[in-house]
Amino acid sequence: MITSSPLRNGTIPWAMVGGGQGSQIGYIHRSAALRDGNFQLVAGAFDIDAERGRTFGQSLGLQAERCYDNYQALFNAESQRADGIRAVSIATPNGTHFAICKAAIEAGIHVVCEKPLCFTTAEAEELLALSKQHQRVVGVTYGYAGHQLIEQAREMIARGDLGDIRIVQMQFAHGFHNEAVELANPATRWRVDPKFAGPSYVLGDVGTHPLYLSEVMLPELKIQRLMCSRQSFVKSRAPLEDNAFTIMEYEGGAIGYVWSCAVNAGSMHGQKIRVIGSKASLEWWDERPNQMSYEIQGQPLQVLERGMGYLHPAALHDDRIGGGHPEGLFEAWSNLYYRFALAMEATDAGDATALAMLRYPDIHAGIEGVRWVENCVRSADAGATWVDYV
């Protein structure tokens, strides 16, 4: 159970790039990073508008001199201070992630980056090489990956409760962009512009989330080839898609499916994963994250509740309040930041044993998300044909 900071060497001085006033995701980064006392927010370049960013930083209690005009000034100044930042979170539009990540790693700063990590696998591999060279952590915020029932699914699948895995059905299909809301909403506008969003909209924006959950639950599953069809139902979004269906064949014969969608009218979030084996199935849905369905063929439905003693120890490790009281997105994110902090401390201490025991969405998770989007786009743009997964 998480009750206090696990760090032996003190709080990690931390900054944010992006995540400024009114941004969608900035608040939850701060909430998750600060919750367990592992990080202290001391600096930032919060906004594309430097003045607005400075005002915002000061409103969070930061010294004016540590609210910087841009990320270059932030990294330059902080890396020269004795009390400078050791970690930064990047919560800016997609098109900036690569350059900001690269600059942070080169300045010797650990990174938590929003997904998608960057636009191409080649860029992602470059970040991997740099992170190895400078021995810096790169965490990626696939937020629900920190939820305890995801750990439970992983353990049940590993011990064979479902039998042989046959089908993985995934979706992240919300309805909030069923019309051209971007005309009035800047946070949606950049998402449908390839210059800022990259080669895809919903595949990268939402599809990579359940894909990563499947990687956590089913670490052995490797995609062999896939076929993707993508559409722009709001025509002005073309060439970027607001809906996509992807079918994947895995090595060993299992099959997977991801529905990525922003035009699923009426749906709130719709992130689900169902893993179907030869004996039983598991299903988890982010709108009811405290319950997971366990269906054994021929038996009544079982509902596994978060925080209960019958769960695997790995699914209880990050518990914060016990069963009954709901935990959700905020706790899942906090659990990820908890692990990011441990990974940063272990890396700084050169503690390979501690690092090997930690699992969190790292740079490899970031690379896999980028690789999957690249393959999906290649298939879709070739007319929804099967392509070998490269």
**Does 319 contact ligand NAD by CB under 6 A?**
no
**Does 369 contact ligand NAD by CB under 6 A?**
no
Spatial distance between the Cα atoms of 12 and 31, rounded to a whole number of angstroms? 15
**How near is the Cβ of 25 to ligand NAD at its closest, in Å?**
4
Phi-psi region of 355 (alpha: psi -120 to 50; beta: other; left: phi over 0): alpha
**Does 270 contact ligand NAD by CB under 6 A?**
no
Q: In the window 47-66, what residues touch ligand NAD (CB under 6 A)?
A: 47-48
**Does 268 contact ligand NAD by CB under 6 A?**
no
Binding mask 130-169 for ligand NAD (x = CB under 6 A): -----------x-x--------------------------
Spatial distance between the Cα atoms of 323 and 36, rounded to a whole number of angstroms? 20
User: Is residue 137 within 8 Å of residue 111, measured between CB atoms?
Assistant: yes
CB proximity list for 126: less than 8 A, separation 6 or greater: 102
At residue 350, φ and ψ (nearest 5 deg) are 65, 30
**Does 207 contact ligand NAD by CB under 6 A?**
no
In the set 15, 54, 88, 92, which binds ligand NAD (CB under 6 A)?
A: 92
Sheet bearing 223-231, strands edge to edge? 302-305, 291-296, 280-285, 271-277, 165-173, 255-261, 243-250, 223-231, 387-388
**How near is the Cβ of 370 to ligand NAD at its closest, in Å?**
12
Closer of 197 and 342 to ligand NAD (Cβ): 197
Residue that has been written with the tokens 């599953």 in this structure: 221
Which region, judged by CB under 6 A, interacts with ligand NAD, from 93-101, 218-226, 301-309, 341-349? 93-101
**Does 362 contact ligand NAD by CB under 6 A?**
no
Binding mask 7-46 for ligand NAD (x = CB under 6 A): ----------xxxx--xxx-------------------x-
**Does 94 contact ligand NAD by CB under 6 A?**
yes
User: Is residue 217 within 8 Å of residue 370, measured between CB atoms?
Assistant: no
Helix, strand, coil percent content, the chain, rounded in steps of 5: 40, 20, 40
**Does 93 contact ligand NAD by CB under 6 A?**
yes
Give residues in contact with ligand NAD (CB under 6 A): 17-20, 23-25, 45, 47-48, 70-71, 91-94, 96, 114-115, 141, 143, 187, 205
